Structure 1
């Protein structure tokens, strides 16, 4: 049986590619999407999900729920059209959001979790963690029915992509990120350590365009690659951060993990805002006033690229790649 997945995301290019990938991977069954601000505004994120839903004739039973518009810091979010395009789909301008299939009642998230509570529902969060944190604030008892949470976020002992030390999702709302990690019991963090290695080259994209049916991928990933190539001329392709996080749900053998306590720097006015810090000290009870049962989270620190290549190319082309 396919793994039931509820997606929280700020639907830009790599989030969109992740959603499309999920359609072609029989091991994954997306049961709903919470659209948040981040790469683009919340309403544009919702419009993008709706566009993909209509493009691929996805069942209207898969709800699109409006999530957060601003972070818990109270700041107005800054968007990144140079990376994701004005609307979050690179050169593509989706139809205006007409409200069809869009749910404004955030309580619908509770309904989805309760509906699949006996089917090992997991959540994957590919954007800022504001909406997910809100669930822990409002409905902590409901979140007990979620089997596991996968988070694309963080950078451990590697450079960030929002600042020198911080990854964009944690940097965008460090308060929400810390709240989730301090309250969730079963979390896998998929950080830049591995997602930066989940590269799709232009040659891979061209072949998928010829052999596969998801023709939207090429304009999306060509746009995405132009940004990365301009920023780093030596890069060989586009990192699919959110696809890697989604794959971690069903292909755990692709990754090497460590269980560690994690904290997110909360100082919103500091250069280290949003930095993810894992405690790797090899001894216990470092300080007497530390919590007796500090939460440990599973962090993906290595990825087997050839497994990533195999699953991505096989599912996106319908051909078996070795």
Structure 2
């Protein structure tokens, strides 16, 4: 069983990752923490609560609001997600967010369970960096840190140099990567190659007769429409891929160790993730996922949607 905290800037694929933490039989989701990122912060909180209720887990997993802005920079929203919940009017969730902050919750849960908690960070790393300010020894007590972020020396999705999560708060990313966590990174580079679902795959999800599959289609629609408007079919699923690799590590086909650093001073290359794979030139601080079973990932996610929301006892 994988005990995890999911740190998220909840838009569509973040919600799809949350569903894995909420419903996969090998996942035990201890808490959800919210960080500045894709859409407005209060909307991110609501999106997480909506997802928890869609999974049939309302009131069972606490949602902790965290950093509303990056450490030292202005917030930069993402343009592809609409309001992050498919621009759909869902009922107001009965569950309310916790009064305890995200960084405080991370430190409390990890210290109560040293060596047992995996953190899945699928937004900017502001909350994780803030937790390190509260507990400088945190990295030694986290079982593993899984990061969706950066590019493996390739073109980003915000600028030619940078992927969104690292671009929004490069200072936090740099702090976290230097902190000594046992770290695995899923990059935008890998996403483009192996976590992009085309129109035929989305159509297969539309054939799944569950409310959870309907929920997926509603949330995914704005991203798919945005991509189509710029001449690209389908939608990307980096966050849910990262979540699925935690609970189904057999999907990992190839990985490599690298020294990873994030550019914080140059505006031209802000958020650039240097990934040095040269074993004779650098000391690795992260494992980079280079190849996955892409078909297996899609099949596993369809299985999750087909199983449907958990019945409340």
Give the alignment's TM-score, normalised by structure 2.
0.89
- Segments of structure 2 that go 5 or more residues without pairing to the other structure are 309-313
**Cα deviation, residue 266, structure 1:** 0.8
Is the 8 Å Cα contact of residues 182 and 295 (structure 1) preserved in structure 2?
no
**Cα deviation, residue 41, structure 1:** 2.3
- Segments of structure 1 that go 5 or more residues without pairing to the other structure are 286-293
Give the one of 130, 134, 139 matched to 2:135: 139
After the TM superposition, which parts of structure 1 deviate over 6 Å for at least 4 consecutive aligned residues? 96-99
Is the 8 Å Cα contact of residues 139 and 182 (structure 2) preserved in structure 1?
no
State the secondary structure of the residue aligned to 1:220.
Answer: helix
State the secondary structure of the residue aligned to 2:160.
Answer: coil
Give the one of 109, 123, 130 matched to 1:112: 109
CA 1:155–1:284 in structure 2 vs 1: closer, same or farther (change >3 Å)? closer
Alignment partner, residue 35 of structure 2? 36
Alignment partner, residue 21 of structure 1? 20
Alignment partner, residue 240 of structure 1? 237
1:84-163 aligned at under 5 Å gives the runs 84-85=81-82, 87-94=83-90, 100-106=96-102, 107-117=104-114, 120-163=116-159
Between 1:195-204 and 1:238-247, the stretch displaced more is 195-204
Distance 2:53 2:301 in 1: 23
CA 1:206–1:276 in structure 2 vs 1: closer, same or farther (change >3 Å)? same
CA 1:101–1:299 in structure 2 vs 1: closer, same or farther (change >3 Å)? same
CA 1:251–1:97 in structure 2 vs 1: closer, same or farther (change >3 Å)? closer
Alignment partner, residue 78 of structure 1? 76
CA 1:102–1:206 in structure 2 vs 1: closer, same or farther (change >3 Å)? farther
**Cα deviation, residue 181, structure 1:** 0.3
Distance 1:57 1:213 in 2: 11
Deviations 1:227-249 (A, max 9, x none): 1122233x3x2111101111121
Between 1:59-68 and 1:5-14, the stretch displaced more is 59-68
Distance 1:97 1:67 in 2: 19
**Cα deviation, residue 254, structure 1:** 2.1
1:156-171 aligned at under 5 Å gives the runs 156-171=152-167
Between 1:181-190 and 1:206-215, the stretch displaced more is 206-215
Alignment partner, residue 296 of structure 1? 285
Is the 8 Å Cα contact of residues 48 and 94 (structure 1) preserved in structure 2?
no
Distance 2:57 2:36 in 1: 23
Deviations 1:173-224 (A, max 9, x none): 1000000000033000110122222122333334334323302111111221
Give the alignment's TM-score, normalised by structure 1.
0.86
1:304-315 aligned at under 5 Å gives the runs 304-315=293-304
State the secondary structure of the residue aligned to 1:83.
Answer: coil
RMSD over aligned Cα, in angstroms?
2.3
Distance 1:99 1:316 in 2: 23
Between 1:200-209 and 1:294-303, the stretch displaced more is 200-209
Between 1:24-33 and 1:123-132, the stretch displaced more is 24-33
